[in-house]
Amino acid sequence: VVSPDAICAQYGADSLRLYEMFLGPLEQSKPWNTAGITGTHGFLKKLWKLYFNENGPVFKSEAPSPEQLKTLHKTIKKVTEDIESFSFNTSVSTFMICVNELASQQCVSQEILAPLAILVSPYAPHIAEEFWEAMGHEESISTAPFPIFNPAYLVESEKEYPVSFNGKMRFKMTLPMDMSKQEIEAAVLAHEKTMQQLDGRTPKKVIVVPGKIINIVG
């Protein structure tokens, strides 16, 4: 028998809650291994660093980037589905992926971090309450409306195409997804790297598969 009081004293109640949900589906029996709790404890430390550094809060009222909105809304979508199906273990995995992505994007936008705190609050209520209070809210985060998924933020508006010459990829270029084959062909042929590769030659064929590949046969 492992006393939860001892675990809470060492790692905190939120680490214990997350670890128990991360073990696997609710209906399955799961082996208890105290060593595994360091993983969820480490995740909460990383989550904390999204909101605070050694000097205090880092979040700001600045507009989020499209990448940050995409990360947030795919997280909202997955966590909402997981809650409805009681798949709490996959929600914890989703949070870990989300925090890693936002950290790499250097996200400090409160427009992203506030909804994230609400998403996390059923799983780690104590740390989420700290975030919420630091953002200036006087009422508990438990009273905040749950974030709503907006599919518009997951629609890809641009595509990074690999541009190949005779089957060998030479460079990449980003183009709008709504461009026609003819527009894509014109754009890639006008690119300076294409001109360098062709060196004045006229290509025999330009193969364009919108949303996938561009291959120039010389």
At residue 55, φ and ψ (nearest 5 deg) are: -100, 0
Instruction: Report angle CA 55, 42, 13 to the nearest 5 degrees.
Output: 95
pLDDT score recorded for residue 94: 95
Q: What is the pLDDT, as a whole number, of residue 23?
A: 82
From residue 47, alpha-carbon distances to 88, 116, 138, 191, 214 in Å are 18, 10, 22, 42, 40
CA angle 87, 92, 98 (to 5 degrees): 125
0.85 exceeded by the pTM? no
pLDDT at position 204 is 92
What is the pLDDT tens value at each position of the chain, 218 positions in all?
A: 678 898 899 999 999 999 988 887 777 776 777 777 888 999 999 999 999 999 999 999 999 999 999 999 999 999 999 999 999 999 999 999 999 999 999 999 999 999 999 999 999 999 999 999 999 999 999 999 999 999 989 877 788 899 999 999 999 998 888 888 999 999 999 999 999 989 888 899 999 998 889 999 97
